[in-house]
C-alpha cells in the first residue's frame, strides 16, 4: 500500500462516511503499528507515522527504519481487518454525533421495507426505523414513499447506530408549523402571542431566550400586578399557552437582576468579563440558571472545554445553595423582627390610660382625704388620754349638729308679743 493508495482511501472515507481525515489517518497508523508489533513479537518500541501530504508510511523499530517491502507485507496481510474495524468505529462515532444533535428535528425519510409492522427507512446514507408505536393509527406506508418525521432518539449498539423516527410526537406538529410559517420559525409569533396572552396589561418589551426556554416581559410599575394576575394566574396561563417560562418585571428589576448576575458570575474562578456578558445575553441571571445547562452547551457558549464547563457548573451548584441559605436566613430574620415590632406596638396600645379606664362622660376624681386618727391629732396614746379626748371631741361635735340654733333676742320678742 503506497502513499497514493493511503490518500485515496482517506479521501474516499472522508467523503462517503463523513469521517474527519485526521481520525482516518490515526486509525491507519494504529492498525499498522499493532500489526508490526505482532509481526516482530514486541509490545513496545515500534512507531508508525503517516505523512499527511504524501501518504507515505514510515515505521521504526527502535532506531531502525523498517524496510518498505516488509512494512508493505505487514500492512497488507495483518492490518487490513484492524483498519476496517477502526474506520467502522470512527464512522459510528461520526454518525452518532451527527444525529444525536438533531433530536426533535424534522427530517424526510424514504420507506424501504416493513418488518413486524415497523418501517425501515433511509435517511440520507443511514438507516432509520419507524416503530409501530410511533406511527399514526390507520396510516399506511408504501415502499419508496417519502415521509416526514421527527428524530425521536439515537441509540448506539456496538458499532451500529439506531435512529428512531416518530410521526405521532407533538414535536412533529410544531416542526411542521415552523417549516411552513417563517414567523413561527423566527419566534415572531411567540413575541406577539405573549403580550396578547397577558392582556389587558400593557407590555413594554419581550425578550426571548431559547436556550433556557424563558421569556422576560417588561412592564411599567402600574401594570405589574395586572400582568401577573391574582395569585399569578395570568402569567401561569400564558406560560402554559406558549410553552415557555415567563418572568414579568419592571425595567428597574431587570437592571437590578443584571447587576446581581454580573457580581455573581464574576466571582466564578476563571470566568472572564466576555463570558459573563455572554451568559447574561443568553438569559442567565442566577447561579441556578447555570446548573440547568449541559456541560457541552456551556462549553460552546463560553468557548471553553467540557471539563472547564463542568467545573463552572459544579461551582454554580454550590454557590446557588449558599445564596439560598443566605436568602432564607435574611427572610427569617425579617419575620422575627416584624413579630417583635408587632408585639411592642400591641403592648403600647393595651397600656391602661384614663380614656380606657373611665367612661367617656366621666372624669377621674381625686381620692378621698383620709380621716384623722388619734395619733394624727394627739400624738401617741398615753394612758388612754388620747382616746378619751377624741371621744369628748366627737360628742361635742354631735351635740352641735343636733342643737337648734339660738335666735336673736329681738326676734324672740316679736314672736312672743301679740299683734296690735
**pLDDT, tens digit, 9 for 90 and up, residues 240-293:** 888 888 999 999 999 999 999 999 999 999 899 999 999 999 999 999 888 888
Within-domain flag for 348: no
pLDDT at 381 over 60: no
Confidence of residue 398 (pLDDT cuts 50, 70, 90): low
Q: How many Å apart are CA 182 and CA 161, to the nearest integer? A: 33
> Is there a single domain that holds both residue 216 and residue 289?
yes
Within-domain flag for 384: no
Q: CA-CA distances (angstroms) from residue 200 to 214, 234, 247? A: 22, 10, 17
* Average pLDDT over every residue of 54-79: 75
pLDDT at 94 over 70: yes
pLDDT at 61: 82
| Longest pairwise C-alpha distance within the chain | 189
Q: How many Å apart are CA 76 and CA 32, to the nearest integer? A: 9
pLDDT at 259: 93
Q: How many Å apart are CA 319 and CA 379, to the nearest integer? A: 85
pLDDT at 412: 45
> Is there a single domain that holds both residue 237 and residue 289?
yes
> Is there a single domain that holds both residue 144 and residue 67?
no
Give the rounded percent of residues in the chain with a pLDDT score beyond 70: 77
pLDDT at 23: 83
Within-domain flag for 142: yes
> Is there a single domain that holds both residue 121 and residue 142?
yes
Q: How many Å apart are CA 134 and CA 141, to the nearest integer? A: 13
Q: How many domains does the chain have?
A: 3
CATH code for the domain in which residue 288 is found: 3.30.300.20
CATH code for the domain in which residue 62 is found: 3.30.1480.10
Q: Which residue has the higher pLDDT, 177 or 152?
A: 152
Find, among 201, 208, 255, 254, the residue nearest to 228 by Cα. 201
> Is there a single domain that holds both residue 297 and residue 312?
yes
CATH code for the domain in which residue 171 is found: 2.40.50.140
Domain edge (last residue) among 253, 286, 320: 320
**pLDDT, tens digit, 9 for 90 and up, residues 175-205:** 888 888 776 777 677 778 888 888 889 999 9
Within-domain flag for 146: yes
Residue 402, SS3? helix
In degrees and rounded to multiples of 5, residue 186 shows phi and psi of -95, 15
Packing angle, helices 233-242 and 188-197, rounded to 10: 150
Range(s) of the domain holding residue 111 = 102-177
Q: Which residue has the higher pLDDT, 77 or 218?
A: 218
Mean pLDDT of the chain: 79
| Overall pTM surpassing 0.75 (yes/no) | no
pLDDT at 40: 78
Domain edge (last residue) among 126, 152, 177: 177
pLDDT at 277: 92
Tell me the CA end-to-end span of the chain in Å, nearest whole number: 182
Confidence of residue 166 (pLDDT cuts 50, 70, 90): very high
Domain edge (last residue) among 320, 343, 377: 320
Could you tell me whether strands 126-130 and 106-115 are parallel, antiparallel, or unpaired per DSSP bridges? unpaired
> Is there a single domain that holds both residue 258 and residue 211?
yes
pLDDT at 276: 92
pLDDT at 220: 93
Within-domain flag for 145: yes
pLDDT at 357: 46
The region of weakest confidence among 49-63, 115-129, 371-385, 405-419 is: 405-419
pLDDT at 410: 43
pLDDT at 373: 53
> Is there a single domain that holds both residue 314 and residue 188?
yes
> Is there a single domain that holds both residue 141 and residue 213?
no
* Average pLDDT over every residue of 392-410: 50
pLDDT at 347 over 70: no
pLDDT at 32: 81
pLDDT at 397: 54
> Is there a single domain that holds both residue 66 and residue 130?
no
pLDDT at 324: 87
Within-domain flag for 331: no
> Is there a single domain that holds both residue 89 and residue 130?
no
- Best mean pLDDT range from 35-44, 166-175, 391-400: 166-175
* Average pLDDT over every residue of 20-35: 83
> Is there a single domain that holds both residue 308 and residue 185?
yes
Within-domain flag for 225: yes
The region of weakest confidence among 209-218, 244-253, 338-347 is: 338-347
pLDDT at 415: 45
Q: How many Å apart are CA 331 and CA 323, to the nearest integer? A: 12
pLDDT at 370 over 60: no
Within-domain flag for 337: no
> Is there a single domain that holds both residue 187 and residue 298?
yes
- The cell numbers describing 323, all together, are 445564596
Amino acid at each position: 500500500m503506497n502513499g497514493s493508495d493511503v490518500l485515496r482511501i482517506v479521501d474516499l472515507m472522508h467523503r462517503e462516511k463523513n469521517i474527519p481525515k485526521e481520525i482516518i489517518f490515526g486509525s491507519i497508523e494504529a492498525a499498522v503499528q499493532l500489526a508490526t508489533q505482532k509481526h516482530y513479537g514486541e509490545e513496545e518500541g515500534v512507531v508508525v507515522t503517516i505523512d499527511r501530504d504524501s501518504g507515505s508510511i514510515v515505521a521504526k523499530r527502535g532506531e531502525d527504519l523498517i524496510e518498505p517491502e516488509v512494512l508493505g507485507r505487514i500492512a497488507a496481510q495483518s492490518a487490513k481487518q484492524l483498519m476496517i474495524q477502526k474506520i467502522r468505529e470512527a464512522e459510528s462515532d461520526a454518525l452518532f454525533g451527527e444525529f444525536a444533535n438533531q433530536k426533535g428535528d424534522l427530517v424526510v425519510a424514504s420507506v424501504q421495507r416493513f418488518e413486524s409492522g415497523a418501517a425501515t427507512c433511509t435517511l440520507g446514507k443511514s438507516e432509520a426505523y419507524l416503530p409501530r408505536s410511533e406511527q399514526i393509527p390507520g396510516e399506511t406506508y408504501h415502499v419508496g414513499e417519502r415521509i416526514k418525521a421527527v428524530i425521536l432518539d439515537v441509540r448506539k449498539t456496538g458499532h451500529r447506530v439506531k435512529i428512531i423516527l416518530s410521526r405521532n410526537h407533538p414535536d412533529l406538529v410544531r416542526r411542521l408549523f415552523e417549516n411552513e410559517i417563517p414567523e413561527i420559525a423566527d419566534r415572531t409569533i411567540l413575541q406577539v402571542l405573549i403580550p396578547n396572552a397577558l392582556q389587558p396589561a400593557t407590555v413594554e418589551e419581550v425578550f426571548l431566550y431559547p436556550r433556557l426556554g424563558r421569556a422576560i416581559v417588561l412592564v411599567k410599575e402600574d401594570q405589574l400586578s395586572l400582568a401577573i394576575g391574582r395569585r399569578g394566574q395570568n402569567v401561569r396561563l400564558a406560560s402554559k399557552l406558549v410553552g415557555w417560562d415567563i418572568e414579568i418585571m419592571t425595567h428597574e428589576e431587570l437592571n437590578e437582576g443584571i447587576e446581581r448576575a454580573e457580581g455573581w458570575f464574576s466571582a466564578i474562578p476563571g470566568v472572564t468579563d466576555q463570558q459573563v456578558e455572554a451568559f447574561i445575553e443568553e438569559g442567565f441571571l442566577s447561579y441556578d440558571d447555570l446548573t440547568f445547562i449541559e456541560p457541552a452547551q456551556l462549553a460552546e457558549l463560553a468557548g471553553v472545554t467540557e471539563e472547564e464547563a463542568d467545573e463552572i457548573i459544579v461551582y454554580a451548584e454550590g454557590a446557588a445553595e449558599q445564596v439560598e441559605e443566605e436568602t432564607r436566613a435574611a427572610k427569617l430574620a425579617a419575620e422575627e423582627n416584624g413579630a417583635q415590632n408587632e408585639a411592642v406596638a400591641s403592648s403600647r396600645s393595651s397600656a391602661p390610660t384614663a380614656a380606657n379606664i373611665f367612661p367617656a362622660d366621666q372624669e377621674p376624681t381625686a381620692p378621698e382625704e383620709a380621716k384623722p386618727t388619734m395619733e394624727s391629732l394627739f400624738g401617741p396614746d398615753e394612758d388612754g388620754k388620747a382616746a378619751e379626748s377624741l371621744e369628748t371631741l366627737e360628742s361635742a361635735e354631735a351635740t352641735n349638729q343636733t342643737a337648734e340654733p339660738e335666735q336673736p333676742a329681738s326676734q324672740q320678742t316679736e314672736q312672743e308679743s301679740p299683734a296690735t
